[in-house]
C-alpha cells in the first residue's frame, strides 16, 4: 500500500508518515520499483499503535521506546502522564477562572482588564498585607466581579483580609448571595461557615433566606448556629429548634435566648418556644448548668405562661435554679448578679 493510500485510510498525513519514517518509528517494509514507500498490513497496524499512544499524550520518543523495548513497563509512564495531565488541567482551570473574572467585569478598555488582572495577582500573593492592599486599593472604572471576591473570601485564612474581602463583596454591586452559594454547599465545613456567616449579614438579599434555611440542617454546629441567629432575627420560626439547642448547649446562649424572646412576640411561635424550653428543663439529661441557662432564657419570653413557669421553678429542687428563678420572677430590675452568663 503506497503512502497516499495509507494516509487516506489512517488519517495520518503523508508529511507525518515521512516524519515517522525519518525517526525510525514506522518504516515501510518495502519500496516500489520507482522508489516509493510501500507499507504492509503490519506497518499500518504499527501506525495505529503510534497514533493510539500519541492520543494518551506520549511523545514520539516515548512511543518509540514503548514499541521497541520488550522490557518497557507502561505503569510508571502512565502514572507520570496522569500527573502531568492533572497539572495541565489545573493550570487550564485557573486560566479559565481568570478569563471568566475578566469577562464578568465587562471591561470597556484594556486598562480595565489590566486592573482586574492586577487584583487577581495581588489576591494570589503569599503576603496577607499585599492581599489586603490589593482588596482595599483604589477602584476606578472597572467593577470587581462578585464571583472573584467571593472565591477569594471563601479561601482566605487571614481574618483581616477576609474582613476586607467581605467589605469589598458587599459594595461590589453584584449578587453576593449567588456568589457565596457555592461556598454554602462546599464539602469543607470551614468554607461553609464563612459563606453562611457572610450570607447572614446580607439581610433581604434575594435567595439568602433559602440558603440559610438549608443551613439549619448542616452537619456542622457552627454553620447551623450562624443560620439560626440570622433567620431568627428575621422572624423565621424555622430557626426555633436550633436556637433552643444553642441554649441547651451553652453556645451563644444569650444571643439565642434574646432571639427566641423576639420570636415569641408571635403568639403561635411563643407557645412553641415555651413548650420546647419546658421540655428541655424536664429532660433527664439536663444538668444543673443547662437548666440554669434554660431558666434564664424563659425571662426573655413575654406573657403570663412564661412567668408561671418561672414561679414554679422558684421552688425547684435544684437550689441554683430556684435561686435564679426567684430573682427573675421578682422583676427585670431585681435579677441577681451573674444570673445571665
Domain assignment present for residue 224? The answer is no
Domain assignment present for residue 282? The answer is yes
Domain assignment present for residue 246? The answer is yes
Domain assignment present for residue 91? The answer is no
Closest to 254 in 3D by CA, of 262, 264, 246: 246
Provide the CA 113 distance to its chain's centre, in angstroms: 26
pLDDT, position 341: 45
pLDDT, position 84: 86
pLDDT, position 311: 94
Q: What angle do CA 335, 318, 292 make, to 5 degrees?
A: 50
Domain assignment present for residue 218? The answer is no
pTM (two decimals): 0.67
DSSP state, 336? P
pLDDT, position 139: 62
Query: How many domains would you assign to the chain?
Result: 2
pLDDT, position 340: 47
pLDDT, position 142: 60
Question: Which set of grid coordinates corresponds to residue 260?
Answer: 427566641
288-298 vs 240-249: helix axis angle to the nearest 10? 130
Burial annotation 96-127 (CB, 10 A radius, 16+ → b, else e): eeeeebbebbebeeeebeebbeebbebbeeee
| Cβ(153)–Cβ(166) below 8 Å | yes
What Cα–Cα distance (Å) separates residue 195 from each residue in 2, 264, 281?
A: 65, 28, 34
Domain assignment present for residue 329? The answer is yes
Compute how many other C-beta atoms are within 10 angstroms of the C-beta atom of residue 231.
25
pLDDT, position 335: 42
Domain boundary among 35, 51, 72: 72
CA distance 279 to 297: 13
Question: Phi, psi (5° rounding) for residue 307?
Answer: -65, -35
Q: At 37, which helix (H) or strand (E)?
A: strand 37-38
Domain assignment present for residue 248? The answer is yes
pLDDT, position 12: 93
Domain boundary among 31, 49, 72: 72
| Residue segments in the chain with a per-residue pLDDT below the cut of 50 | 333-341
CA distance 181 to 199: 9
Q: At 11, which helix (H) or strand (E)?
A: none
Domain assignment present for residue 155? The answer is no
| Cβ(238)–Cβ(211) below 8 Å | no
CATH (domain of 23): 1.10.1660.10
Domain boundary among 49, 72, 95: 72
pLDDT, position 92: 86
Range of the domain at 23: 3-72
Amino acid at each position: 500500500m503506497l503512502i497516499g493510500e495509507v494516509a487516506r485510510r489512517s488519517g495520518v498525513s503523508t508529511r507525518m508518515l515521512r516524519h515517522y519514517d525519518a525517526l525510525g518509528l514506522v518504516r515501510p517494509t518495502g519500496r516500489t520499483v520507482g522508489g516509493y514507500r510501500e507499507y504492509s498490513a503490519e506497518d499500518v497496524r504499527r501506525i495505529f499503535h503510534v497514533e493510539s499512544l500519541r492520543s494518551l499524550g506520549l511523545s514520539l520518543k516515548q512511543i518509540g521506546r514503548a514499541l521497541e523495548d520488550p522490557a518497557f513497563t507502561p505503569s510508571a509512564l502512565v502514572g507520570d502522564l496522569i500527573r502531568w495531565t492533572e497539572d495541565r488541567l489545573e493550570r487550564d482551570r485557573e486560566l479559565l477562572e481568570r478569563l471568566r473574572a475578566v469577562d464578568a467585569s465587562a471591561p470597556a478598555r484594556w486598562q480595565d482588564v489590566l486592573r482586574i488582572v492586577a487584583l487577581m495577582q495581588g489576591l494570589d500573593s503569599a503576603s496577607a498585607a499585599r492581599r489586603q492592599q490589593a482588596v482595599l486599593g483604589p477602584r476606578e472604572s472597572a467593577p470587581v466581579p462578585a464571583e472573584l471576591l467571593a472565591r477569594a473570601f471563601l479561601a482566605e485564612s487571614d481574618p483581616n483580609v477576609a474582613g476586607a474581602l467581605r467589605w469589598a463583596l458587599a459594595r461590589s454591586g453584584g449578587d453576593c448571595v449567588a456568589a457565596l452559594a457555592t461556598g454554602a454547599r462546599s464539602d469543607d465545613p470551614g468554607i461553609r461557615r464563612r459563606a453562611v456567616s457572610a450570607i447572614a449579614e446580607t439581610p433581604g438579599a434575594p435567595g439568602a433566606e433559602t440558603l440559610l434555611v438549608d443551613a439549619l440542617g448542616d452537619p456542622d454546629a457552627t454553620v447551623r448556629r450562624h443560620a439560626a441567629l440570622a433567620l431568627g432575627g428575621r422572624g423565621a420560626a424555622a430557626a426555633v429548634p436550633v436556637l433552643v439547642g444553642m441554649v441547651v448547649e451553652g453556645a451563644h446562649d444569650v444571643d439565642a435566648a434574646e432571639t427566641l424572646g423576639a420570636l415569641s412576640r408571635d403568639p403561635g411561635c411563643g407557645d412553641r418556644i415555651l413548650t420546647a424550653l419546658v421540655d428541655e428543663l424536664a429532660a433527664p439529661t439536663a444538668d444543673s448548668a443547662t437548666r440554669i441557662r434554660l431558666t434564664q432564657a424563659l425571662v426573655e419570653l413575654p406573657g403570663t405562661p412564661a412567668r408561671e413557669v418561672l414561679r414554679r421553678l422558684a421552688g425547684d429542687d435544684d437550689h441554683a435554679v430556684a435561686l435564679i428563678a426567684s430573682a427573675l420572677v421578682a422583676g427585670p430590675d431585681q435579677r441577681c448578679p451573674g444570673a445571665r452568663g
